[in-house]
Amino acid sequence: MRIKILRQQTPFSKPYWEAFAYNGTKDISVAGLLDHLNYHDDIMNDAGEPTTRIGWECSCLQGVCGGCAMVINDMPALACETFLRDLEGTEIELRPLRKFPVIHDLIVDRSSIQENLKRTDIYIGEYQPKKGEDSRRQYDVAKCLKCGLCLEVCPNYTCGETFFGAVFANDCYLVAARNRTKAKDIHRAYAAHFGNACSKSFACMDVCPADIPTIASMSRLNR
């Protein structure tokens, strides 16, 4: 099996493709594959040339941290939840998420997600639960990994300067549901940075590893 990886040594260097050969089992995840390729001290590409270790990041390897988000065969996904046996063909193509600045190889800077929440003051603050509020929906929304996969597939999201994407909409719903004092300001921020620009492709829900029902968050906020 041939593994093609879009690499970039520094944020300012030119990206380039490098290929690696893999002859092992297909019953491993892409994360396991990257660990395998990086295992030896003397790493060779498929041309037999010495090269450097592949940069990628992870934490839990169980689909709950979002650290290993990347583009796998043109589909944004978590490397730890994508198995080789489920990928078609004899070649796998890995590239970093395209909507964020590259730090090194498959590692990107997703700090804009948190910065946009800070810019718009979206945080729970004093918890003010409503009697009879749908706690199950809040729990589902709170599972957001901030992995950026929803932003990668969003046709409206570019660099996060004005439109903040589904990750922002879900946090707006969660905070508005748990802090009634902030609700009015949150609805204004939601309209300005999501509601007025979302084209409702809902690709965000297709790729969300936590299966968050963003359309339900939108429905509650639009009311």
Cα–Cα distance measured from residue 215 to residue 202, given in angstroms and rounded to the nearest whole number: 8
| Largest Cα span, the chain | 65
CA distances from 172 to 27, 116, 184, 218 (A): 39, 12, 11, 9
Which runs of consecutive H residues, i.e. helices, occur in 15-107? Answer: 30-38
Domains of the chain are 2-108 (3.10.20.30), 111-222 (1.10.1060.10)
Please write the tens of the pLDDT for every residue from 177-191.
888 888 889 999 999
Please write the tens of the pLDDT for every residue from 2-39.
999 999 999 999 999 999 999 999 999 999 999 999 99
What is the pLDDT at residue 13? 96
Tokens 């590239």 correspond to 95
Q: For strand 50-51 and strand 43-44, is the pairing parallel, antiparallel, or unpaired?
A: antiparallel
Among residues 114, 115, 122, the alpha carbon closest in space to that of 182 is found at: 122
Average of per-residue pLDDT values in the chain: 94
